Amino acid sequence: MPDLGDLYQSLILDHSRSPRNYGEPPTVDRVADGRNPMCGDTVRVWLALDGDRVAEVRFVGKGCAISQASASLMTTMVKGKTRAEAEQLFGRFHDLVTGKPVDEESRSALGKLVALAGVARFPARVKCASLGWHAMHAALNEGPAEAATVSTE
């Protein structure tokens, strides 16, 4: 079992250098912008839905490595999930990075995201790590025609 600190560093580095699912998809059903004024991070998250399932989730953004890496990780975890599963994962991730107790079932659902648990020790970083997730959540819950804007402030 690798050290969680090392795993955290390598995950953040990997995803901030080579963000996954980056750029606007050809088909868009939902879009939301997220802003974290504390750190200056921005993300835009696009969703394409297939019935109740998230068929495609992509993003662009600017800001610190944690905000961008976490948004990239979010896209890899949410793609293919139902709306309910995506929302549940958002809740579990939010508990993890805000230092709430996370049970075994949540831990296994979070998978490699568990490496971000250390963010809970740095309150200013929680907003960076959760920005992409808040935007995904806002996009899921907005009407198709509107661009939602969420701020972590």
Residues that bind Zn ion (CB under 5 A): 39, 41, 64, 67, 128
CB 109 within 8 A of CB 89: yes
Nearer to Zn ion, 32 or 54 (CB): 32
Nearer to Zn ion, 30 or 137 (CB): 137
Give the residue from 92, 85, 93, 39 showing the smallest Cα distance to 61. 39
SS3 content of the chain, % helix, strand, coil (to 5): 50, 20, 25
Min. distance of Cβ 85 from Zn ion in angstroms?
Answer: 27
The residues, any chain, with a CB within 8 Å of residue 39's CB and separated by 6 or more, are: 63, 64, 67, 124, 127, 128
Min. distance of Cβ 117 from Zn ion in angstroms?
Answer: 17
Min. distance of Cβ 103 from Zn ion in angstroms?
Answer: 28
Min. distance of Cβ 64 from Zn ion in angstroms?
Answer: 3
Nearer to Zn ion, 42 or 106 (CB): 42
Nearer to Zn ion, 75 or 106 (CB): 75
The residues, any chain, with a CB within 8 Å of residue 65's CB and separated by 6 or more, are: 12, 13, 16
β-pair partners for 45: 32, 59
